[in-house]
Amino acid sequence: MLNKIILASKSKVRKEILDKHNILCEVKPSNVDEDVVKESLINVSASPEIISKNLAELKANKVSSNQREKIVLGADSVIDLDGELISKPESREEALIILKKLNGKKHNLISSACISKNGSMIWNYTDIAELTMKNFSEENLKKYLSKISDEALYAYNVYQIEGEGRSLFSKIEGDEDTIMGLPVKKIKEYLRNYTQGINDE
């Protein structure tokens, strides 16, 4: 495995996932204006999956262009509710609106990863998990939100799958790391092969 990669994200959750899998990383946030990018892609009818892939690549390429010969990982996660893109909430009121939209329905959680070097993508991967939310009264949704800290709420979208959030769902199909924001098993596999390729040269 490589000695160290650069994570183009300020997400503590993604850093924790990499740490858990013994992937050493240095954090250098891309500071890409996601809302502007999302809006321009929605205007050309891009699907949530395409938006997620584009954002992951944009973040990785931006940081990578200033990090010569280094491996940079960019990532992005979005919720796809019947083709509608659901972004992270910016307030508790917004979080409640999102939960009411997802209430009793099936949705996809899309997590994309992109690895770039010298400002260009060299690998990417997108994984999709499917989650079915139980039907809750508005009162119960508010009760759930009251148990979630601000940090967890804004970091994990509206549900923290390895904590309180699991109780929201009747069915979860997909990889837990993907749901938390990083398809790390495929990233690890790629990095192992990449390192092997360097060693074979």
CB 7 within 8 A of CB 26: yes
- Residue 156, pLDDT score: 64
Number of structural domains the chain divides into: 1
Burial class (CB in 10 A: 0-12, 13-18, 19+), 51: buried
Looking at the predicted structure, is the pLDDT value of residue 184 above 60? Answer: yes
Percent of the chain's residues with pLDDT above 70: 94
In tens, the pLDDT along 41-83 reads: 999 999 999 999 999 999 999 999 999 999 999 999 999 999 9
Q: Which two structure tokens, joined as six digits, stand for 21? A: 């899998």
Parent domain of 102:
5-200
User: Which residues are tagged catalytic?
Assistant: 76
- Residue 161, pLDDT score: 74
Looking at the predicted structure, is the pLDDT value of residue 107 above 70? Answer: yes
Which residues 6+ apart lie within 8 Å of 73 measured at CB? 5, 6, 7, 8, 9, 25, 60, 113, 114, 115, 187
- Residue 149, pLDDT score: 84
Strand partners, 133: 169
DSSP 3-state of 192: helix
- Residue 178, pLDDT score: 93
Strand partners, 7: 27, 73
The chain-wide mean pLDDT, for the chain, equals: 91
Tell me the CA distances in angstroms from 168 to 67, 78, 136, one per residue in order: 41, 18, 8
Residue 110: which CATH number? 3.90.950.10
CA 126/CA 167 separation, integer angstroms: 26
Burial 75-91 (b: 16+ CB within 10 A, else e): bbbbbbeeeebbbbbee
In tens, the pLDDT along 110-145 reads: 999 999 999 999 999 999 999 999 999 999 999 999
CA 95/CA 20 separation, integer angstroms: 28
